[in-house]
Amino acid sequence: MKFSDRANAITPFYAMAFSEKASALEAKGHHVVRLNIGEPDFGAPGPVVQAMQDVMEKAELPYTSALGLPALREAIAGFYLQRHGVAVNPNNVVVTAGASAALLLVSAALVNHGDKVMLADPAYPCNRQFIRSFGGQLQSIPAGAEQRFQLTPHNVQANWQNDTKGVMLASPSNPTGTSVPESDLAAICDFVKSRGGWRIVDEIYLNLSHHGDAQTVLAFDPDAIVINSFSKYFGMTGWRLGWCVVPDDMVPVMERLAQNLYICPSTPAQYAALACFTPETLNVCEGRRDILLHRRQRVLDGLKQAGLSVDVEPDGAFYVYINVTSTGLNAMTFCERLLEEQHVALTPGNDFGEVTGDDYVRLSFAASETALDEGIKRIGTFLASL
């Protein structure tokens, strides 16, 4: 069969390849410590699981509006007010099948053939695929440790061209766990807005930020396009539910796209997600944020002891981007040998960036403390063996 150029251009995730290798080792009876996937080990909070059980008792679960259940859109808007003190009109909230579908719809809505879109290298790999799939061109800006692996206002101004249509960034970021400082983000948004460009800000890790009071970009750029999800803060990866907040004139466009591309997000997941915004559930999620903070410190201390360098400590997402150049191995070899010899799965930086991808590996600390301790111990043994 001959597949489209679009499909052929999409590259697989190395993270998944490492998961498959890990499964093969497990099938042979080995105990593999999996620190390669960005998936919280907590699962959905209890009240949300209970709500899902109640929902399943309902006789009918028809399609909802393509934009999502009105009650859920209101609850999400209410969360912005309660958590960030920012008034969001529920009409601007679009519930989607995960942040992935939000990124897909937003890219479909905005990117024309030949449009340039600016993003940092390293960044979440799917963003490159979304832009390219709709004919856009990437303006990948190398963002090293000295700038916390994030775009700076200077980068954006210096690289802006007539056919640059917008920026796409995640704060905090995957794979580095680092945030764009609020003043930088405001300056980037101001500049891009002054050029008539759009700002897509992925805040999927925002509510896990280590400071707790991390602010949404909507507080200072109400017309920014904001992506978020139930996957990370609420621990609901497999439920496939997320949302975005978009400007008024974009809502009907998003509605038409969602109607045609997948009709609506999962109805039972949407009803159950109403239970996410109760004080009881939010308490559970805040408790988990504290647990992640504790794990972060354990991992940073362990890596330091093992002699590995973390150029920039994460301040938001549950990832550590580790510099492996001191080992003399490139990221891919480091990950392959670590998995084969010590049965620890990490992800090579090549998944996320082309410029320094060979120098870094990503560790996800959204795993149990036992797994993290064992993983760090084995990493130490591996390093000693080199």
Ligand X SMILES: Cc1ncc(COP(=O)(O)O)c(C=O)c1O
Determine, following the binding rule CB under 6 A, whether residue 266 of this chain makes contact with ligand X: no
φ, ψ of residue 347 in degrees (nearest 5): -120, 130
Sequence-distant (≥ 6) Cβ neighbours of residue 231 within 8 angstroms: 98, 99, 204, 237, 239, 241, 242
Which range of residues in 141-149, 179-187, 229-237, 289-297 is near ligand X by CB under 6 A? 229-237
Q: Computed over its alpha carbons, how large is the radius of gyration of the chain?
A: 21
Which range of residues in 98-106, 218-226, 305-313, 372-380 is near ligand X by CB under 6 A? 98-106
Q: What is the DSSP string of 339-361?
A: IIII-EE-EEGGGT-SSSGGGEE
Taking the least distance from each CB to ligand X, the nearer of 160 and 198 is 198
In whole angstroms, the minimum distance from the beta carbon of 169 to ligand X comes to 10
Taking the least distance from each CB to ligand X, the nearer of 38 and 122 is 38
Taking the least distance from each CB to ligand X, the nearer of 174 and 327 is 174
First and final CA of the chain: distance in angstroms?
45
Determine, following the binding rule CB under 6 A, whether residue 100 of this chain makes contact with ligand X: yes
Determine, following the binding rule CB under 6 A, whether residue 229 of this chain makes contact with ligand X: yes
Determine, following the binding rule CB under 6 A, whether residue 242 of this chain makes contact with ligand X: yes
Determine, following the binding rule CB under 6 A, whether residue 174 of this chain makes contact with ligand X: yes
Taking the least distance from each CB to ligand X, the nearer of 236 and 372 is 236
Identify which of 48, 47, 38 has the alpha carbon closest to the alpha carbon of residue 292.
38
The Cα 171–Cα 205 span in angstroms is 7
Q: Decide: 226 and 199 in contact? Cβ < 8 Å.
A: no
Which range of residues in 96-104, 134-142, 154-162, 305-313 is near ligand X by CB under 6 A? 96-104
Question: Angle, to 10 degrees, between the axis of helix 279-306 and the axis of helix 46-56?
Answer: 130
**The one among 36, 64, 147, 237 contacting ligand X by CB under 6 A:** 237
Q: Decide: 263 and 120 in contact? Cβ < 8 Å.
A: no
Helices (H) and strands (E) in the chain, counts: 13, 12
Taking the least distance from each CB to ligand X, the nearer of 92 and 237 is 237
Determine, following the binding rule CB under 6 A, whether residue 273 of this chain makes contact with ligand X: no
In whole angstroms, the minimum distance from the beta carbon of 381 to ligand X comes to 29
Determine, following the binding rule CB under 6 A, whether residue 150 of this chain makes contact with ligand X: no
Determine, following the binding rule CB under 6 A, whether residue 38 of this chain makes contact with ligand X: yes
Determine, following the binding rule CB under 6 A, whether residue 19 of this chain makes contact with ligand X: no
Work out whether the CA dihedral 219, 220, 226, 229 comes out positive or negative.
negative
Residues in the chain: 386
Determine, following the binding rule CB under 6 A, whether residue 357 of this chain makes contact with ligand X: no
Taking the least distance from each CB to ligand X, the nearer of 173 and 281 is 173
Sequence-distant (≥ 6) Cβ neighbours of residue 157 within 8 angstroms: 191
Determine, following the binding rule CB under 6 A, whether residue 235 of this chain makes contact with ligand X: no
Which range of residues in 24-32, 83-91, 97-105, 159-167 is near ligand X by CB under 6 A? 97-105
Q: Decide: 370 and 359 in contact? Cβ < 8 Å.
A: no
Residues 41-70 that bind ligand X (CB under 6 A): none
**The one among 151, 170, 246, 308 contacting ligand X by CB under 6 A:** 170
What SS3 string covers 226-285?
A: EEEECCCCCCCHHHCCEEEECCHHHHHHHHHHHHHHHCCCCHHHHHHHHHHHCHHHHHHH
Identify which of 48, 101, 21, 58 has the alpha carbon closest to the alpha carbon of residue 272.
48
Which range of residues in 92-100, 107-115, 128-136, 335-343 is near ligand X by CB under 6 A? 92-100
Determine, following the binding rule CB under 6 A, whether residue 76 of this chain makes contact with ligand X: no
| Helical (H) or strand (E) element with 139 | strand 137-142
In whole angstroms, the minimum distance from the beta carbon of 241 to ligand X comes to 8
Determine, following the binding rule CB under 6 A, whether residue 36 of this chain makes contact with ligand X: no
Number of residues that bind ligand X (CB under 6 A): 13
Determine, following the binding rule CB under 6 A, whether residue 231 of this chain makes contact with ligand X: yes
Determine, following the binding rule CB under 6 A, whether residue 104 of this chain makes contact with ligand X: no
Taking the least distance from each CB to ligand X, the nearer of 43 and 380 is 43
Sequence-distant (≥ 6) Cβ neighbours of residue 75 within 8 angstroms: 273, 274, 276, 277
Taking the least distance from each CB to ligand X, the nearer of 97 and 383 is 97
Name the residues that contact ligand X, by CB under 6 A. 38, 98-100, 124, 170, 174, 202, 204, 229, 231, 237, 242
